[in-house]
Structure 1
Amino acid sequence: MLFAVMVGALSWTGTAQAHGSVVGPASRAYHCWEEWGDDHMNPAMEQQDPMCWQAYQANPNTMWNWMSMLQDGLGGQFEARIPDGKLCSNNLANFESLNRPGPWKTTTVGDNFSIHLHDQASHGADYFKVYVSKQGFDPKTQSLGWDDLDFITQTGRFAPAQDITFPVRTSGYSGHHIVFTIWQASHLDQAYLICSDVNFG
C-alpha cells in the first residue's frame, strides 16, 4: 500500500514539473502544497487550514499537481470559455475544490506588490493579465465570476525562464481579495488561470 502511494506521488510530481504557477502571492494550490505537502497526513490540517483540507479530501492531485492548471487552445477567449464560478480551477475538474469560497490563507501585500511565476519548464510568456476582486467581494462566501474582477494590468512578452517576476500597482483595496492571474505561455496556446488570496494591509 505504501509503495503504491509513493509511486502515485512520484508520478504526480513528475507531471507537475512540466509546468508552472504563481508562487508569490501563493496560488491556492501552491499554498496547500508548500504548507502541507510534506505533512499531508496531519489531521491538524482540517482545523488549521480547512480550505486545503477540503481540497485534499476532494482530490489529492490538487495539491500534488499544483503546477498543472492549464488549458490548451483557449485562443484568448477566456471569458467566453471559462464559466463564472470556475475561474480558480481554470474549469478543470481535478481542481474544482479551488473554486469553493471559504477562509483561504492569505498573503499580506501592499498597494504595490510583485507577481512571481515559477516555471520549471521555462515556457516564457506571451503576456500576463492581472485582475483583483472588487472591493466588497467576499472570497469567504462568494465564488469568483468575471464581473467580480477589476482589470489591473497586462504585461508584454517574457523570454523563457524558470522564474519571472513583475510589478503590480493598485490602489483602493483593503482586506481579503483574490488576485487573479492569466498566464499565456509562449510555447503553445496554453493558458493558466490562477487565484491567489491576498490581504491588502
Structure 2
Amino acid sequence: MHTARAYTPRRILLTLALLTAAALSQIPLANDAGAHGTTIYPETRNYGCLQRWGSSQPNEAEDPMCYRVYQENANAITAWKAVYANNTGDNYQQVIPDGQICSAGGQGETDYSPLDHPGPWRATGISPYFTVDVYDEARHGADWLQIYVTKQGYDPTSQPLRWSDLELVKTTGSYPGGSAHYVTDTSASGRSGHHVVLTVWKASHMDQKYFLCSDVNFG
C-alpha cells in the first residue's frame, strides 16, 4: 500500500522557492544598455509610421516617406525606441554629423538612416506653444531634454537636416528614474508651416543620448 508523503511547512516553502526560481529563469533579463523610448508627442518619424501602419507595409501613395523607410529598413520602424548614440560627451554636435541627425549618426540599434531623408513626411499640426512628451519604457530617468526647432525658411521636404538649421529653444532640468514620461512646455514663436522638432534626450544611467526628429506643422 502506497503511503502519501507528508508535506511539512518547510518542505512546502522549499518547493515554492524552487518553482519560483525556475519561473524566473525563463524571463529574459532587461537590457540595461539602452533607456529605450522616443518622443510620442509630437510623434517622431518612425513612431508615427508605427502608429499608422504597425509592422505592415505602408501605402506608398498615402504615406510615401513611411513607405520608403519600410522598403529600406523596416526595422527602423519596428525598433522605434533605440535611436541613440553612446559616449558623445558634451559636444555631441561635433560627433553627430549634419545630414545624420535623425538617425543619431548611425549609432542606434539598427540602420536608421532612412529617417534622415528629406521629403513629404507626415506632420503633426500644433501651435507654436506646444508640449513635448518623451516616453521612456525603461524608466531610467533623464539628466535633461534639449528641444531644437528648425529656423524659418528651412524646407524639410528638400533639405537634409543640419545643426545650423536648428535653434535650441528649451533645456530642461532632470527627471527622476521611475517616471515613464518626461514632459515639458516649449515655445517656437515666429514660425509657420512645416518644421522639424529635434528632441535630444540625455538618459541618466549612462552617456546615452537620443536624437528624435518630429515633423510638425505650425499655424
TM-score (norm 1): 0.88
Whether 1:119 aligns to 2:136 is: yes
Shift in alpha-carbon separation, 1:41–1:132, aligned structure 2, 3 A: closer
Which stretches of structure 1, 4 residues or longer, exceed 3 Å deviation after superposition?
none
Point out where structure 2 has 5 or more consecutive residues left out of the alignment: 1-30
Point out where structure 1 has 5 or more consecutive residues left out of the alignment: 1-13
| Residue from 100, 111, 135 that aligns with 1:94 | 111
Q: Shift in Å at residue 41 of structure 1?
A: 3.5
Q: Counterpart of 2:21?
A: none
8 Å Cα contact 2:57-2:70 kept in structure 1: no
| Residue from 153, 157, 162 that aligns with 1:140 | 157
| Residue from 74, 81, 90 that aligns with 1:67 | 81
Aligned counterparts, 1:101-180, within 5 A = 101-160=118-177, 161-180=179-198
After the TM superposition, which of the residue ranges 49-58 and 157-166 deviates more from structure 2?
Answer: 157-166
* C-alpha RMSD over aligned residues: 1.7
Q: Counterpart of 1:10?
A: none
C-alpha separation in 1, matches of 2:121 and 2:139: 29
Residue type matched to 1:54 in 2?
A: R
C-alpha separation in 1, matches of 2:122 and 2:41: 13
Q: Shift in Å at residue 181 of structure 1?
A: 0.8
- Residues 40-85 of structure 1 show CA distances to partners (whole Å, capped at 9, x for unaligned) of 135xx11100000000110011000000111111112211101100
Residue aligned with 2:60, SS: helix
C-alpha separation in 2, matches of 1:152 and 1:138: 19
C-alpha separation in 2, matches of 1:50 and 1:27: 16
Q: Counterpart of 1:188?
A: 206
Residue aligned with 1:53, SS: helix
| Residue from 39, 51, 72 that aligns with 1:22 | 39
Q: Counterpart of 2:98?
A: 84
Q: Shift in Å at residue 152 of structure 1?
A: 0.4
TM-score (norm 2): 0.81
Q: Shift in Å at residue 162 of structure 1?
A: 1.0
Higher relative contact order (CA 8 A, sep 6+): 1
Q: Counterpart of 2:49?
A: 32
Residue type matched to 1:116 in 2?
A: D
- Aligned sequence identity (%): 41
8 Å Cα contact 2:89-2:207 kept in structure 1: yes
Residue type matched to 1:173 in 2?
A: R
C-alpha separation in 1, matches of 2:199 and 2:57: 30
